[in-house]
Chain A
Amino acid sequence: MTGTVDFLLVSMVLANLWVLGSSRLPSCIRALAFQGVALGLLPFALYPGHITWDLVMLALVSITLKAVVFPHLLKRALLEARVDPQVEPFVGHGVSLVVGVASLALSVALFRRHPLPIVPPSDLLMPVAVSTLLVGLFVLIARRKALTQALGYLVFENGIQAFGLGVLQHAPLMVELGILLDIFFAVFVMGITIFHIRRAFATLDTMEMAELRG
């Protein structure tokens, strides 16, 4: 199954780069959905011998949320708030891609140098997880719109979940469910907030929101 695992992990990396390199919001949302599917399938490839009911349930819920519900919510926010679909980055797409690749290199180097005390099911899993995490943070930092903040946050969450898969034998199911619930509310709240901010301020530019500070 190593081939499948690697395929899914590479898909995640590609999705990261897609988010970084795309200049239009709908395209980024599609990349996020794609990453969600890859992440949802990952447990079956990682633990082919231990497919239990709760693993299946978890994967199903995860795919439904990340590949269907969240992208749908984000798209609706995009339409309802009539956001201009341009990404408006602080850091250009080219540089962003370089940062994405550099984050992968950094993560690989990190785990090469400091192996985890537990043995992860795949050598690539942990570096990809951490790199996804860093890309999520980078999107949070380097993009201007409130919607991209939500997007970055979701990529960040994907990274955490991938990391959690590596220690699945050690992390109880409750934690996983907790994470899912957590981000569900986060997106829910963000969707509503974005809509209301738009109505109140007629802008979703976070730079202009900085005017609100005391």
Chain B
Amino acid sequence: MLLAGMLLSVAILVLGGLAAGVLARNCPERAVALAVGANLLAAGIGLVIALLTLLTGASQMTVLPWSVPLGTLALRLDPLSAFFAVPTLLVSGLAALYGRGYLAGKGPSSWLWFNLMVASLVGVLLSADGLLFLLCWEAMSVTSFLLVILEDERAEVRHAGQVYLVATHLGTAFLMVLFLVVSPGAETLAFPRAGTLPPTLAGLAFVLGLVGFGTKAGFVPAHVWLPEAHPAAPSHVSAFLSGVILKSGIYGLLRVVTWAQQPSDWWGWVLVLTGLVSGILGVVFALAQHDLKRLLACHSVENLGIIALGLGLGLLGLSGGSPLAAALGLGGGLLHVWNHAWFKSLLFMGAGALGKATGSLQIEAAGGLLRRMPGTGGAFLVGSAAISGLPPFNGFVSEFLVFMAALELLRSVHPLAGAVGLGGLALISGLAVACFAKVCGVVFLGEPRSPGAEKATETRRAMLVPMLLLAALCLLVGLAAPLVIGVLDAPLGQLAAGADLGPVRASLGWLAALGGLVLLAGLALGHALSRRPSQPGMTWDCGYSRPTARMQYTAASFAGPLTEMFSFVLPFRRHGKPVEGFFPDAAEDHGEVPDPFNQRLYEPIFRGLMRFSLRVRAFQHGEVQLYLLYIVIALIALFIWEAL
């Protein structure tokens, strides 16, 4: 019944997309309306079903007839897949609503790809068969690629699309091997039963899954495609890619974990280290970015790192025999999946709205936007506070759970892992606050730095409403934390038997109440201050009588001390003409930070590959006679080999 409902929602998505594809040319407005309507309807039905599954903990499986070699049409809806279906459908609905306003009639046929992308992701979550999973996975990758290159008249978008396509297929190659290795029989690629894989096989599966799914999730060092592809896409697609599609990697990894008889110690360690490296490097890269969407994409690397850290700590708790640490770590990681989906899609939508209003995504070109765009600015501020892990917003709740897991491990079974996790997460959170202080300060406060920012006006309502809804959700999850963590019980039960989040419920309640009070007090204070008569005036200008907007603090100078502190991982390139002497000439100062992994790891590899391919290309010359000669040589070689 529940499964059938979920399939109905997939069918609505697909039909809506196909209808939009057919109608796109002749009546584009109706096509868009149909596709967006299908998204909203599917999201409504699917959300109810997913939440029901989460609350009841029910699990349903069905096998439909399908005559494909190696494959069975095995579908399963269990709490783990339902848990990931919730952000998928919620964000897809809101992103579709936003996208309608954002695209404003451009590219009506892109809605076919959008709906198919959402449907194939739900398909990924429902499949219980390796072949079906891979098919849906590929469909998701290809449709999202088509959306990434929607604005393909720009050269950097084409480049981003290429990088994305290569990265996603490299990841899929590992997944193919994974499913071949774990499938129980020779003629099938069906998923193994939960809790059946013996340790060695499970370890191999974990490593393959970590590489394959980790590429999708954007773990360092497989993250390089992410800051390219996500900013290139239109904003509603970036919101879905960053908020939801990255999580499909986490889902896959967790699915692999459920197959194991007993997760080993080293899995936890590997995930903790991956998470720490991704988290710290992600936020450090973000600090150095000048493009708003690129910066947000780097923060996705950071947040997926936090998720991995939480899951790793949880697995260490599980294998070390501490059910509380397991519940806290895994629960924190899982909850961060949800939370990141809300605030990251909110932030990407906000960035899109800012970009539309000012005509530029460069942070240094903005300024003073909070007064010009109060709705967008307010929602973006809420998202920033949430992603920085500040109470009373949702990001705080999940990071708090991960902190508690680290503390619990420190106290009991794995002191070292606890200490490392605690320190690392503290560093990540601190840097994230610094980074968003930079973004919000430069973009929203001060005076406009460009004519575009000066002329900016509040964004249209179709784009504003989804952002406000997401902002409300961020606050709601933060304030209702003790209730919200109830949805974690069923998926946690699948990952770690006996894990229970009960002990932290009370403290979360106190924290939420405190956060709420502080928020109320802040609002009251703000209200009181706003009623005082005020008048804009000049700041003290050191005696210089003609200040301009260009004299404000810039984003690069704000982040400078921090990026210089991390210069051992960031190859900071700075060039220009310094200020010299008492009466200096015109001076300039530029800086950029190329991704060190791209520069030192991938570029040499791909350059070598290219050189090799060019050499091989000599064989493909278009002369039929020589092609035939190749065949004959192969044939004669076989003859001779057989004759010997």
Interface residues of A (CB under 8 A from B): 90, 106, 110, 113-114, 134, 137-138, 140-144, 149, 206-207, 209-213
| Interface-located stretch among B47-55, B391-399, B520-528, B624-632 | B624-632
A110-B639, A110-B643 known; A140+B628 contact, CB < 8 A? yes
- Chain A contacts of B622 at CB under 8 A? 209-213
A110-B643, A213-B620 known; A90 vs B625 contact (CB < 8 Å): yes
In Å, the complex CA distance between A210 and B625 comes to 10
Q: Beyond A113-B643, A114-B642: 14 further Cβ-contacts under 8 Å? A: A106-B639, A110-B639, A140-B628, A141-B626, A141-B628, A143-B625, A149-B624, A206-B625, A209-B622, A209-B624, A210-B621, A210-B623, A212-B622, A213-B621
Which of B623, B624, B628 has a CB less than 8 Å from the CB of A137?
A: B628
**Residue numbers in B under 8 Å from A206 (CB-CB):** 623-625
Q: Which residue of B lies closest to A109 (CB)?
A: B643
B544 to chain A, nearest CB (A): 62
Residues of A within 8 A of B635 (CB): 137
Q: Using Cβ atoms and an 8 Å threshold, which residues of chain A touch B620?
A: 213
Give A149's nearest chain B residue, CB to CB. Answer: B624
Q: How many residues of B contact A (CB 8 A)?
A: 15
- Chain A residue numbers with a CB within 8 Å of B626 are 141
Contacts of A134 in B (CB 8 A): 632
CB distance from B323 to the nearest CB of A (A): 61
Q: How far is the CA of A209 from the CA of B623 in the complex (A)?
A: 8
Residues of B near any A CB (own CB < 8 A): 620-626, 628-629, 631-632, 635, 639, 642-643
Q: Which residues of B contact A149 (CB under 8 A)?
A: 624
* B642–A140 touching, CB < 8 Å: no
Assess A141 versus B642: contact at CB under 8 Å? Given A149-B624, A210-B622, A213-B621: no
Shortest Cβ distance from B632 into A: residue? A137
Cα–Cα distance between A134 and B639 once the two chains are bound (Å)? 12
Give bound CA distance, A209 to B643, whole Å.
38
Residues of A close to B623: CB separation below 8 A: 206-207, 210
**Cβ of B629: which chain A residues have Cβ within 8 Å of it?**
141
Per a CB cutoff under 8 Å, which of A110, A113, A140, A213 touches B625? A140
CB distance from B631 to the nearest CB of A (A): 8
Minimum CB–CB distance from A45 to chain B (whole Å) comes to 28
Q: Quick check: A141 and B643 within 8 Å, CB to CB?
A: no
A210 to B622, CA, bound (A): 5
Complex: how many Å from CA A211 to CA B620? 12
Q: Which residue of A lies closest to B624 (CB)?
A: A206
Which residues in B have their C-beta under 8 angstroms from that of A138?
A: 632
Q: How far is the CB of B635 from chain A (nearest CB, A)?
A: 8
Q: Quick check: B632 and A141 within 8 Å, CB to CB?
A: yes
Question: 13 A–B contact pairs at CB < 8 A?
Answer: A110-B639, A137-B632, A137-B635, A140-B624, A141-B625, A142-B625, A149-B624, A210-B621, A210-B622, A210-B623, A213-B620, A213-B621, A213-B622
Q: Which residue of B lies closest to A142 (CB)?
A: B625
Q: A110 CA to B636 CA in the complex, in Å?
A: 11
Which B residues touch A213, using CB under 8 A? Answer: 620-622
Q: In the assembly, what is the distance between CA of A144 and CA of B624, in Å? A: 10
Q: How far is the CA of A211 from the CA of B624 in the complex (A)?
A: 12
Chain B residues, Cβ within 8 Å of A141 = 625-626, 628-629, 632
What is the minimal beta-carbon distance from A143 to any residue of chain B, in angstroms?
A: 8
Chain A residues whose CB sits within 8 angstroms of the CB of B624 once the complex forms: 140, 149, 206, 209-210
CA distance A30 to B624 in the complex (A): 25
**Complex formed: what's the CA distance from A172 to B534 in Å?**
100
| 8 tightest Cβ-Cβ pairs between the two chains A and B | A213-B622, A210-B622, A141-B625, A141-B629, A210-B623, A140-B628, A141-B628, A137-B632
Question: Inside 8 A of A137's CB, which chain B residues have their CB?
Answer: 628, 631-632, 635
Give the CA-CA distance A137 to B639 in the complex, in Å.
Answer: 15
Q: How far is the CA of A90 from the CA of B620 in the complex (A)?
A: 19
CA gap between A142 and B624 in the complex, in Å: 10
Q: How far is the CA of A213 from the CA of B626 in the complex (A)?
A: 14
Closest to A107 in B: B639
The residue among A90, A113, A137 with the most chain B CB atoms within 10 A of its own CB is: A137
CB closest residue in chain A, given B642? A114
Chain B nearest Cβ from A209, distance in angstroms: 8
Which chain B positions have C-beta within 8 A of A114? 642-643
User: Which A residues are in CB contact (< 8 Å) with B625?
Assistant: 90, 140-144, 206
Q: How far is the CA of A113 from the CA of B642 in the complex (A)?
A: 10
Q: Determine how close the nearest CB of chain B comes to the CB of A175; give it in whole angstroms.
A: 21
Q: How far is the CA of A210 from the CA of B642 in the complex (A)?
A: 34
**Which residue of the partner chain B has the closest CB to A113?**
B643
CA distance A149 to B625 in the complex (A): 9
How far in angstroms is the closest Cβ of chain B from A113? 6
Closest CB in chain A relative to B638 CB, distance in Å:
12
Q: Name the CB-closest residue of B to A213.
A: B622
Shortest beta-carbon distance from B644 to chain A in Å: 10
Select the residue from A110, A140, A149, A207 with max chain B CB neighbours within 10 A: A140
- Distance in angstroms from A98 CB to nearest chain B CB is 16
Kindly state the separation between the CA atoms of A106 and B643 in the bound complex, as whole angstroms.
11
Q: What is the distance, in angstroms, from A116's C-beta to the closest C-beta of chain B?
A: 13
Cα distance A140–B630 when bound, in Å?
12
A141→B623 CA distance, assembly (Å): 10
The chain A residue with its CB closest to the CB of B631 is: A137
Question: Nearest chain-A residue to B633 (Cβ)?
Answer: A141
Cβ of B643: which chain A residues have Cβ within 8 Å of it? 110, 113-114
- Please report the C-alpha to C-alpha distance between residue A137 and residue B622 in the assembled complex, in whole angstroms: 18
